[in-house]
A and B are shown apart, each in its own frame.
Chain A
Amino acid sequence: MRRVPIPALVGLAITGLFLFSAIAAPLIAPYGVSEVVGDVWEPASSEFWLGTDNIGRDLLSRLIWGGQTTILVASAATVVSFVTGSVAGLFAAVIGGWVDQVLSRFVDLVMAIPTLIFALVVLSVMPVTIPVLILVMGLLDSTRVFRLSRAVASDIAVMDYVEAAELRGEGRVWTIFREILPNALSPLVAEAGMRFIFMVLFVSTLSFLGLGVQPPGADWGGIVKENKDGIVYGIPAALLPAVAIAALAISVNLVADWVLDRTSSLKGGRNG
């Protein structure tokens, strides 16, 4: 086992911290998510480590609970996006012909509409609940995964070992999941990291615009929205969730880079 490079360690540590606080939120959050415990926009103190928000809730607790929601929604949406996108992409590449044409043109069509606007339209006519949010985000984003996995798989599908499997008489499912997928995995894993970050940004944006997680539930985008007026008075409450978003994005990216690096230089990896 090689040594883990320092950037990856930093990334792992920060990502781990976020994950831990998300999972252990009920244990470590000092107060409840919508508990009003103090005055409006109190400064940081020993009682409220990061101060209070626009209606006097403890900001640290809000951030921890909000992180839980944000990470949950983003992860679930990434999984949805990934499974749909990569399975469809691999099938399109292997089957080819009109199946590929129909899928690819449909994806082009969806991608032609800006994702955010599409999401806003859909969410404004549907009840905004967490499952709906996850599905809408995941499906919209799966178009990008589809494109990538289809491109990667078409490269692999022309390899002699795929032809050898075909000549052996293997079925499509074997060809896709045993011959192609393992070799397509490393770019896809790196992409998964990227997609996750986009999902974090996406859900934060939606919440900021009021179509994401609904109050009194907390998520980072929502906290920015609630406290944005404070910026005018020099109150940093809105900046803290923004810092959290940035820190998570960067740390996940560092980890994804390392994973890509590691899997592609594995024995028999694509770079030899």
Chain B
Amino acid sequence: MLGLIGESGAGKSTIGLSAMGYGRGGIELTGGEILLNGREIREASGRTLRSLRGAEVTYVAQSAAAAFNPAKCLMDQVVEASVSHGRATRAAAEARAVELFRKLGLPEPETFGSRYPHQVSGGQLQRAMTAMALCPEPDLVIFDEPTTALDVTTQLGVLSAIKAAIREQGVAALYITHDLAVVAQIADDIMVLRQGKTVEYGTTEQIITAPQEDYTRALVSVTAKAHEEKITDLPPVLEIEGLTARYRGMDRDVLSDINMAIQPGTTLAVVGESGSGKSTLARVITGLLPPVAGRITFDGRVLPAVRKRRTREDLRELQMVYQMADVAMNPRQTVGTIIGRPLRFYFGMKGREQRRRVIELLDQIELGEAFIDRYPAELSGGQKQRVCIARALAAKPRLIICDEVTSALDPLVAEGILKLLADLQAREQVSYLFITHDIATVRAIADTIAVMHLGKLVRYGTKSEVLAPPFDDYTDMLLKSVPEMRLGWMEEVTAR
């Protein structure tokens, strides 16, 4: 198995798709050779390609939910390629699919195929797609970020299932991902790509333990950053007591009885999987979702539950940075307008004074004056997130809520954002409520940690307390599931 790794725009997916003789969105394969089983397929006819795809080479997409047809049961879709290519009769293909379901650790393999895509979880759907890819007994399977959209605990199960199935079937695989720690667990060889060029190509062991190129070295060490925890005994800037919340029309609480506090100039990381209520917590604190019960105290004063009843000062001191910087900025406003608006709105700054402050903020986020007239579409992902941070900072807040601010970014870019946030904290004494699902990020930034699971706070304390044994079951599982950048990690964890 070959692992392809690189940041977005590195050309990983293009390579993956061209291995099937396919160029996405008008990409033309202008030169070179693609040999599949010794046959050149770059210039093969549509008919030849059709006979190859789904038979000799198959594909596992990133989003299983979008790749399955919701109107057909899983079995129909899993065996479709095998049957239509004449690789097996319907009965034989179904028998094989059941066998694959069993190997991939799916529940009730005999009847699993009769379910519909919406009746199974995301991790199970991803395994079903792997079964679909393996069913025609292909020679090559292409995995395009199959676990990126999954929670860490689910990811671990899917990864080990894929690895075992691939090994047992003896097929070749191309595994595309941006997460080096993941690929280190599963691939035999690794190719590091950047901007369409190969940076380094070697065995997994060599890449992880003895990277030759600077870029690879940076990738390998990216998760190793640690952060010295700060503890102050100043009165907390934000205190949450007995917070319980639910969405209208739902009969269960999304948050139940949450208590936590953030000291000035420190970072509280809220960790949990999707559905744990982390983002709801942010909505409750900002007043978008009034809680059913509980109290939010900000800087010694009780905040009104509803946003509309909060004063402008309340709003100013509590800013938010979103996960998707693309949609968090108005695409029709320039960077200058985006950052300038809070200055005007909260402090009445206009004209030259405003411009001077905007430039000052741009310098703080390491972008500089040249960016002031750009539109969001002219910025890279990391730059967009920096502008969002500057917009929050413009209000001179006491607390910034960061909702998964780095999870849509490439590792090295994310690292830059985390460093920026830490620098800004040291300079401005601002506190962060940092919502994330990534333990590595937590290690890099948190002073205190709150672990959430199904709307409840399962563990809360300073970083050294939370990340040290004895663990409760959930925290233990969460910590164990985070891929580590070393060989054999997955075997160790799954063996336990």
Contacts and interface: CB of A to CB of B under 8 A. Distances in A.
Contacts of A164: 320, 322, 328, 391
Interface stretch (A79-87, A167-175, A238-246): A167-175
Nearest to A161: B330
B345 A163 contact: no
A97 interface: no
A182 B338 CA distance: 14
B331 A163 contact: no
B341 A182 contact: no
A161 B328 contact: yes
A160 B377 contact: no
Nearest to B392: A164
A259 to B, nearest CB: 16
Interface in A123-167: 159-161, 163-164, 166-167
Contacts of B345: 168-170
B476 interface: no
- Looking at A164, A179, A269, the one whose CB has the most chain B CB atoms below 10 A away is A164
Contacts of B315: 167-169
Nearest to B388: A164
A34 interface: no
Interface in B340-374: 341-342, 345
B305 to A, nearest CB: 15
Contacts of A178: 330
Contact of A163 (B288, B312, B341, B395): B288
Interface in A189-248: none
A272 interface: yes
A268 interface: yes
B25 to A, nearest CB: 12
Nearest to B332: A182
A178 B345 CA distance: 14
A168 B332 contact: no
A160 B327 contact: yes
B286 A167 contact: yes
Interface in B95-113: none
A21 interface: no
A267 interface: yes
Given A164-B328, A167-B286, A268 B375 contact: yes
B455 interface: no
A167 B320 contact: yes
Contacts of B376: 268
Nearest to A160: B328
Contacts of B316: 169
Contact of B377 (A166, A167, A169, A272): A272
Given A159-B327, A160-B324, A268-B331, A169 B312 contact: yes
A164 B321 CA distance: 9
A175 to B, nearest CB: 11
Contacts of B330: 161, 178-179, 182-183
B378 interface: yes
| Interface range, A side | 10 to 19
Interface of A is mostly: helix
Contacts of B342: 168
A184 to B, nearest CB: 10
Interface in B364-419: 375-378, 391, 395
B120 to A, nearest CB: 28
B307 interface: yes
Contacts of A272: 377
A166 B332 contact: no
B136 to A, nearest CB: 36
Nearest to A170: B345
Contact of A166 (B307, B322, B324): B307
A66 B83 CA distance: 68
A183 B345 CA distance: 21
A80 to B, nearest CB: 26
A269 B307 contact: no
Nearest to A179: B330
A173 to B, nearest CB: 13
Contacts of B312: 169
B329 interface: yes
Contacts of A269: 331, 377
Nearest to B326: A160
A164 B400 CA distance: 13
A44 to B, nearest CB: 52
Contacts of A163: 288
Contacts of B375: 267-268
**Which residue of B307, B330, B345, B395 has the most chain A CB atoms within 10 A of its CB atom?**
B330
Contacts of B288: 163, 166-167
Contacts of A270: 331
B377 A161 contact: no
A90 to B, nearest CB: 15
Interface in A245-272: 267-270, 272
Contact of B307 (A160, A161, A167, A268): A167
Contacts of A161: 327-330
Contacts of B378: 267-268
Interface string B308-337: 001010011001101010011111110000
A178 B315 CA distance: 20
* Those 10 A-B pairs whose CB atoms lie nearest each other, nearest first: A268-B331, A182-B332, A160-B328, A268-B375, A268-B377, A169-B315, A267-B375, A161-B330, A160-B322, A160-B327
23 contacts: A159-B327, A160-B322, A160-B327, A161-B329, A161-B330, A163-B288, A164-B320, A164-B322, A166-B288, A166-B307, A167-B286, A168-B395, A169-B315, A169-B316, A178-B330, A179-B330, A183-B330, A267-B375, A268-B331, A268-B377, A268-B378, A269-B331, A272-B377
Given A164-B322, A183-B331, 14 more contacts: A160-B327, A161-B329, A161-B330, A163-B288, A164-B328, A167-B307, A167-B315, A168-B315, A168-B341, A168-B342, A169-B315, A179-B330, A268-B331, A268-B332
